[in-house]
Amino acid sequence: MDKEKLLEKWLKDELSPAEQKAFEQQEDFPLHEEIIRGARQFKASHFSKPPSYEEFKANLKKAKRPVRVVRLNTFIRVAAAIIISFGLYFAFFSNQSTTVETLASQQNTVELPDASEVTLNAQSTITYNKKNWNKKRQVTLDGEAFFKVAKGATFDVLTDVGTVTVLGTEFTVNERDSYFEVKCFEGVVKVVTLDEAHTLTQGKSFRLLNDQSILSEFTMRNPEWLNNITNFNSVPFIIVLEEFERQYNIEVTTENIDIDRIFTGGFIHNNLDDALKSITTPLEIDYKKESKNKIVLYSSKK
């Protein structure tokens, strides 16, 4: 029987011995008991005593409405139900998760309740629950982030594509639409998707792109984007353009360019002209600035 049904029967005093035992073993039982004790402090209104039976009968005949008698026990439990409802309402809103997000061309470092650190790349979001952190170290990620996890219980990073599980390590997770990548910089990382699972050690990475997975190695000691540099290794050009827009907070449009063409290279985050040259020159692409926040790329081939 579910918790709500048990609570309902408990409030009506209809639990069997077995159900009562199961109800008392629930985590919330002490709270319910405390609410009942508080409800018992409610007192019925004071009623005056008539001086005689004859006067009582006379007053009774004058009454225009019937009097409904409610057992005190029923009143207590109804009051308890109301208090529980308010308690659950406030408990729900006091137990909301914490969300941190970054804007375009922005990075932000967040310290979690156990002193673990998360650095968010541009246009990324993490969500976690401070209240339950000691019971469950869990972060939901949309975007890209670098994690420095303090040693302790299992630490999970949840994404739409898969779950990354560690005990204490340094790693990055990048989850953007059809692109998913995990890099382990220290320790051991377990990556689980719908179709496969991998254990990554230092210098190993896992990438899932357009339903194709790749295991590879790298030599850098920290994510390059922490130093305002983004690099790519054999990715469709559209992924490069999307990251370019995030880092410079601009709109990029293309004319007669194959955006699925494979690109290897990178760009810096603090000089727009140099960054544009880095991604266009290798592919023989020209560009023009239509406005402060809009750039058009077109083929330079004649």
Q: Which of 237, 179, 234, 175 is closest to 208 using CA atoms?
A: 179
What is the DSSP secondary-structure string of 43-98?
A: -PPP-PPPS-HHHHHHHHHH--SPPPP--HHHHHHHHHHHHHHHHHHHHHHHTPPE
Domain topology for 229-299: Phage tail protein beta-alpha-beta fold (3.55.50)
Q: Which pair of tokens denotes residue 182?
A: 């995990």
**In the predicted model, what is the mean pLDDT of the chain?**
83
Query: Does residue 262 have a pLDDT over 90?
Result: yes
Structure confidence at residue 177 (pLDDT): 87
- CATH of the structural domain 98-224, one choice from 2.60.40.420, 2.60.120.1440, 3.40.50.720, 2.30.30.20: 2.60.120.1440
Q: Which pair of tokens denotes residue 8?
A: 């309902």
The most distant pair of C-alpha atoms in the chain lies apart, rounded to whole Å, by 115
> What's the average model confidence in pLDDT over 225-253?
97
Residues 6 or more apart in contact with residue 136 via CB below 8 angstroms: 129, 156
pLDDT tens column, 90-123: 444 445 799 999 999 999 999 999 999 999 999 9
- CATH 2.60.120.1440 maps onto the chain at 98-224
- CATH 3.55.50.30 maps onto the chain at 229-299
Residue 172 CA to residue 218 CA, distance in Å, equals 13
Q: Is residue 165 within 8 Å of 192, Cβ to Cβ?
A: yes
Structure confidence at residue 15 (pLDDT): 72
Q: Which of 98, 146, 104, 145 is closest to 123 using CA atoms?
A: 104
Q: Which pair of tokens denotes residue 282?
A: 């290798």
Residues 6 or more apart in contact with residue 178 via CB below 8 angstroms: 209, 210
pLDDT tens column, 146-175: 999 999 999 999 999 999 999 999 999 999
Query: Does residue 62 have a pLDDT over 90?
Result: no
Torsion angle, alpha carbons of 76, 77, 78, 81, to 10: 120
Does 47 or 57 have the greater pLDDT score?
57
pTM of the model: 0.69
The pLDDT confidence band at residue 17, using thresholds 50, 70 and 90, is confident
Query: Does residue 68 have a pLDDT over 50?
Result: no
pLDDT tens column, 246-261: 999 999 999 999 999 9
SS3 150: coil
SS3 4: helix
